[in-house]
Each structure stands twice: as structure tokens, then as C-alpha cells.
Copies of this chain bind each other. A is one copy, B any other.
Amino acid sequence: MNLHPDYLLNEVNEPSDIKQMSLDQLKQLAAEMRQLVLERDAKIGGHVGPNLGVMELTLAFHYVFDSPHDKIIWDVSHQCYAHKMLTGRKLGFLDPDHYEDVTGFTSPEESAHDFFEVGHTSTSIALAVGMAQARDLMKPQSTNNIMAVIGDGSLSGGLAFEGLNNAAKLHSNLIILVNDNQMSIDENQGGLYKGLKELRDTNGKSANNIFKFMGLDYKYVADGNDLQTMIDTFNEVKGIDHPIVIHVNTLKGKGYQPAVDEKMKYHWRKPFDLKTGKDKVAASGDTYNDAILAELDRQIADGVPVAAIGAAIPGEFGLSEFKAKHPDRYFDVGIAEQDSITTAVAMAQAGARPVVFEKSTFLQRAYDQLIHDMALNDAPVVMIVGGGSIAENSATHQGTFDISMISDLPNIEYLAPTNEEEMISMLRWAIKQTDQPVAIRRPEKPLVHGKATQDDYSAIKYDIAHHGSEVAIMAVGDFWQLGEEVRGELAKKLNIDATLINPKSVTGIDPEVLHHLAENHDVVVTLEDGNLSGGFGETISRYYGPKNMKVLNFGAPREFADNVPTDVMYEWYHLTPKQIVDDVEKVIHSL
């Protein structure tokens, strides 16, 4: 049910509907949309501060320009809620029954006003340059405007700089709006932000100007939350015949004081209570993060030169706590994943023990650094990889590629613990050894306790947790519990006493165990919480390819899944114990 049938927003079906509105009406829209952002985020979670800060510039864009003929490209696109409300998707914000119809990022499938599915940072300038180049190539006389909106920390990502560098080569319309809210996700990191501050402090007049340095035209807007100013600014640059940077000072969280006061907390939130500001589902119990950080504390107490390196998402790993305790050992490189890996490589080669914290989806941004810097130099960096899992998520942030990404590379050992104690044992060894890079896949399921069955992982010994026959189940990392369930189901349905194996690693194989399995097993089942293509299961399939063993690999297929509930994906991908046992049964019958 539409919670606000009285809102002026109800009259806006497309951007042209706001063009005749008065300034007061537009301001009313801004206030309404702020309320709707808060209501929706409180209910289903989402980006708060980034959206609250850009209401005026979004309204001004659609008031002045003609979307989609004129094009706005949102960097990260986590600040596109107002844009969505003004481009035919208001019900996704007015009516809780329709909240889930509209995603939190731009989506060409939803609207002709969105051009790319985006969730990672720093891409918008390169995308805008590409659109401008295509425009100029195909319709040299065309005059439509192309605008990239970048900010909120995204400028520190190298691709943003590559984009700026190439934007300067254009001889046609391009508008780069730098939304300078003085924040990254955490506080802004690095020298770039000193320079931006100098520009803000001089009202854009400082002679030292990175944008002008690169040959770009430049304009400063001191209050990007003033609607009339933004309208005037856009009217001035509309139809401009060369690239220009509009540097706009805005307030992240504008209009909701808690989000202004605690900018990092309100960058992105799970469902929360609008009155108290508290999470609706409070975190409870110990977490794998707690265990990791406690181990780092112990190592530091023991005099080990441990350092933690992150890239702008301390909340994902509880690193704010580490930062508070060990400020001299904490390095947040900002949104700059490439730098996080390469810097860690050098620290490791120089004798320190860097532990890099990266999410699976963002580690993708440092693939060559994994190969060329880390693997090639065999640098003993320790990596904690979070979010590697088949789980409900925006497709932009799908976390299923890390196993194939890392395990196909030389020299890196990628360990997948099945419980807390095993994870800590692996972490201890990873820090102690200095022979090679070691990545550890943080389990994503709720914490379970168990034990470690080795303490030196330089040679991987598969743990045979249960010796059975006929079918052997190799359950990787947090699919361990699934492995136990499949074992139970095989016993119940087929009266098979299956062997259950914890392979511990998705890179190394244990040829001894694999060889002996053939003695009294006909089928091996691999279970991994990630992509099948290039994954652990295929390694096992290749090993048994020339031998008399049937192998069944379970995991995710080569596809994106956008906001699909985890249990639905499990059904799709045959990841329920019943489906797995049915598939095994078919193979057994074919023997």
C-alpha cells in the first residue's frame, strides 16, 4: 500500500513532470524523497547517507536536462534512489509491497534512464567517455549531454584517474560531476583529499587544481544541496562543447542528523529502527571476524610484525576495532584494491606480516596484482577473503568468483576452513610461514566450532572425518555442514555409509587420499560454495578424468543471480541434500 498517497511525488511519472514545478515544489519533492529513502532503508536496508546527500543535484539534473536523451551515469550507483523515484519507479519507494521490485543500483532492465548495471566504484568517468566517443562517432552533430557523477570516495580508485586522463582528450560534451561529500565509506584516505579540501577552502580558486592540471575545464559549487544553485549550474553547462568538471560540495546524510553525525555507520545499513537508530536484527554471538582479530591481537602481543590492510570497508571485517587498538598497524588504502595487494606484497617482502582483508567481489579488482605482484614474487602475504559464497546479493557484488580467480594461479595457497578453530589454526600457520602467499576463505555461515586436524598446511592433508565406502563427499569450507547433511541423506535414502572429507584447501590436492579413495569408492561428490567453472570440483574431475571414478561437482553455474534468495539459488543449482542425493543415485544406477 502506498504509504504517502498525499505526496507530490505521486504526480511524477517521468522526469518531464517536474519541469513545470516551482522551486518550492521541487524542494517539497526533495523532502519527500528523503523521507522515502529513510523509510525504505529502515525496512529493507540500503544506502542511506549517499542518497540523502544528492537529492538536490538529482532534481536539478532532471529539471534542467532531458533524460534519457541527456544521460546521467552514477558511479557505484548507490546514490540513485532519487533518480529512480523521478524516472517511473516511485512505487518502489512509496509502497513497501513494491520495495523489492526496484534494486538499489541502476539497472537498464528497470528503466531507459539507466544505462549500466553498476555496483563497484570508479567506473563512471570511463563509461561516460565511452558514451561520448560513441556519440561522436555515430552522430557527429549530436548535442546530447553526458554526465558522470562520481564521489563518495570513488575518486581514489585508479580507474577513476584513468578515466579523467582520457576524458581530457575529448573535444566534445562531457560533464563530470565530482560529488565531494568529504567522505569515503570510512573517512577519506590519502593525499587526493587534501587537494580537494584546498579547493573547497578556496571556493574552487586555488591555483593548484588536479582537474585543470589534466587539462579539464573546472567549476566549483560551494553548496550542492542548494537546489537553485544546482539548477543554475546545470543551465550554465548544458550543451557545453568540451569536458568540464563540476566540483560540488555536498553533505553526506543531509536532512537526517544521525546520518550526518555518523557518516560511516549510515553509509549502508541493514534494516534499522528509524527512531532508535538500532539494527532491527541485532548481531549476536561470536563471529569469525572476532576470532580473526583476537588472533591478530595475540600475534602482536607476541611481537610479530603484523599489520592489517583494508580497502575502505572496515565494517565488513570489524577492523575499526583493530584500528582503535593498533593505529600504527592499520592501513586503509581507501577504495584502491590494487594498491592494497601491491603494498602488502612489499610489506611482506620487507619482513612484515601483512594481513589483507578483502571481499571476494572487490578482490576481483586486484587480479593482476594477485598474479604479477603476489604470486610471481611468492610474497608471503596473508589474505582474509570475505563474502565468498552463493548467497542473496546484488549481481554487481556476486561473491562466487574468488575460488576460480585465486585457485587457478600459481604459488598462492587458498585455504577454506570449516570451523573457527580450523580457521585460526590456518591463520597462525599463514602468518608464521614466509614461503608463499596464503589466502583464507572466511566462512560465511553462522560460526561453528570444531577442531583443526593439522597445524602446518605447507602440505595439504585431506581430513577423512568419516571413513565409509561407495560414495566420498568432499565438502569445502562452509559447505561442510551440507556435506554432513548429504551423508545423512545418503544413509537414509540409499543405505550408503558415505565417506566425508574436509579438503581444507581449494588449491592443493592430496594425491594420497585421492588415490586410495579409488579402492572402495565409485563416486566422489564435491561441494563448494562458489563458481563451478575453474573451481575446486573441476580440479578433482581433472584428477579422476583418466581413472575409474565417477565425479559429481556441485556449486554455482557460470551466471549472475541478482537479488535471488539463497534458498532459491540452492534449489536452482541442486544444492539441497535431497537433490544432491538424487543426482548421486542416478550415477550409481548407471554404474
Q: Which stretch of A8-16, A284-292, A483-491, A553-561 is in the interface? A: A553-561
Binds B, one of A255-263, A345-353, A574-582: A345-353
Residues on the B chain within 8 Å of A229, using CB: none
Indicate which residue in B192, B354, B377 contacts A165 across the interface (CB closer than 8 Å).
B192
User: Do the beta carbons of B215 and A213 come within 8 Å of each other?
Assistant: no
Per a CB cutoff under 8 Å, which of B351, B369, B376, B548 touches A134?
B351
Question: Does A534 have its Cβ within 8 Å of any Cβ on chain B?
Answer: yes
Whether A376 contacts B117 in the complex (CB less than 8 A), given A158-B158, A162-B339, A347-B133, comes out as yes
Cα–Cα distance between A209 and B191 once the two chains are bound (Å):
13
A508 CB → nearest B CB, Å: 10
Give the residue of B166, B213, B534 whose beta carbon is less than 8 angstroms from that of A533: B534
Closest residue of B by beta carbon distance from A307: B137
A373 adjacent to B123 (CB under 8 Å): yes
Known: A131-B347, A349-B131, A352-B134. Is A166-B189 also a contact (CB below 8 A)?
Answer: yes
Q: Nearest-CB distance from A54 to chain B (Å)?
A: 21
A189 vs B131: C-alpha distance when bound (angstroms) = 19
Chain B residue nearest to A526 (CB atoms) is: B545
Within 8 A of B (CB), among A386-435: 395-396, 401, 404-405, 407-411
By a CB distance below 8 angstroms, the chain B residues around A587 are 546
User: Counting CB contacts under 8 A, is A501 at the interface?
Assistant: no
**Contact present for B158 and A162 (CB under 8 Å):** yes
| Among B348, B351, B405, B407, contact of A367 (Cβ-Cβ < 8 Å) | B405
Cβ contacts under 8 Å, A376 to chain B = 117, 395-396, 560
State how many angstroms separate the Cβ of A476 from the closest Cβ of chain B.
15
Interface residue ranges of A515-550 to B (CB < 8 Å)? 523, 531-535, 537-539, 541-542, 544-548, 550
Residue A115 is within 8 A (CB to CB) of chain B in the complex: yes
Q: Is the pair A550, B558 in contact by a Cβ cutoff of 8 Å?
A: no
Per the bound structure, the CA–CA distance linking A582 and B286 in Å amounts to 55
Q: In the complex the two chains form, is B546's CB within 8 Å of A538's CB?
A: no
| Contacts A191-B169, A339-B126 given; does A545 touch B534 at CB 8 Å | no
Q: Collect the chain B residues with CB atoms within 8 Å of residue A348's CB.
A: 134
Q: Decide if A156 is an interface residue (CB 8 Å cutoff).
A: yes
Contacts of A534 in B (CB 8 A): 404, 407-408, 533-535, 538
Does A72 make an interface contact (CB < 8 A)?
Answer: no
Bound complex: CA A574 to CA B352 (Å): 40
Which of A90-98, A269-277, A325-333 forms contacts with chain B? A325-333
In the bound complex, how far is the Cα of B352 from the Cα of A254, in angstroms?
39
Q: A116-B377, A207-B207 are in contact. Are A195 and B215 (CB under 8 A)?
A: yes
Q: Which residues of B contact A331 (CB under 8 A)?
A: 133, 166
CA gap between A559 and B409 in the complex, in Å: 7
Q: Give Cα A102–Cα B328 distance, bound, in whole angstroms.
A: 39
A191 touches B162 (CB 8 A): no
| Most B C-beta atoms less than 10 A away, residue of A115, A207, A346 | A346
Q: Roughly how many angstroms separate A311 CA and B327 CA in the complex, as a whole number?
A: 39
A207 to B160, CA, bound (A): 24
Cβ of A315 < 8 Å from any Cβ of B?
no
On chain B, the residues within 8 Å of A354 by CB distance are: 130, 134
Given A116-B377, A134-B347, A364-B367: A338 and B191 within 8 A (CB)?
no
Contact A210 B207 (CB under 8 A): no
The smallest beta-carbon distance between A152 and chain B, in angstroms, is 15
* A64 contacts the other chain (CB 8 A): no
Q: Is A244's CB within 8 Å of the partner chain B?
A: no
A159 contacts the other chain (CB 8 A): yes
Distance in angstroms between the alpha carbons of A375 and B117 in the assembled complex: 10
Asked whether any CB of chain B lies closer than 8 Å to the CB of A552, the reply is yes
Least CB distance from A114 to B in Å reads 11
Residue of B nearest to A350 (CB): B134
Q: Which of B133, B156, B395 is close to A343, meaning CB atoms less than 8 Å apart?
A: B133
Q: How far is the CA of A119 from the CA of B190 in the complex (A)?
A: 26
Q: Taking CB as reference atom, which chain B residue is nearest A129?
A: B343
State how many angstroms separate the Cβ of A38 from the closest Cβ of chain B.
29
Once the chains bind, are A550 and B542 in contact (CB under 8 Å)? Answer: no
Query: Contact at A350–B130, with CB atoms within 8 Å?
Result: yes
CB A433 to nearest CB in B, in angstroms, measures 17
Question: Which of B133, B163, B342 touches A123 (beta carbons < 8 Å)?
Answer: B342
Please state if B346 and A159 are interface contacts (CB–CB under 8 Å): no
Say yes or no: is A305 at the interface (Cβ < 8 Å to chain B).
yes
Is there an interface contact between B158 and A347, defined as CB atoms closer than 8 Å?
no
A191 and B215 contacting across the interface, CB-CB below 8 Å: yes
* Bound: A198/B208 CA distance, A: 12
A375 to B129, alpha carbons, bound, how many Å?
A: 19
CB distance from A171 to the nearest CB of B (A): 11
Residue on B nearest A197 in the bound complex, by CB: B215
Known: A116-B377, A339-B159, A408-B534. A126 touches B165 (CB 8 A): no
Q: In the complex, A533→B347 CA distance in Å?
A: 29
* A–B complex contacts, Cβ < 8 Å, 18 sampled: A118-B372, A119-B372, A131-B347, A156-B165, A158-B160, A159-B369, A162-B333, A164-B191, A195-B213, A195-B214, A367-B368, A376-B396, A376-B560, A410-B560, A542-B553, A545-B553, A546-B586, A546-B590
Given contacts A165-B189, A548-B590, 11 further A-B contacts (CB under 8 A): A118-B372, A122-B158, A131-B347, A133-B307, A133-B347, A162-B338, A163-B342, A194-B214, A195-B213, A195-B215, A534-B538
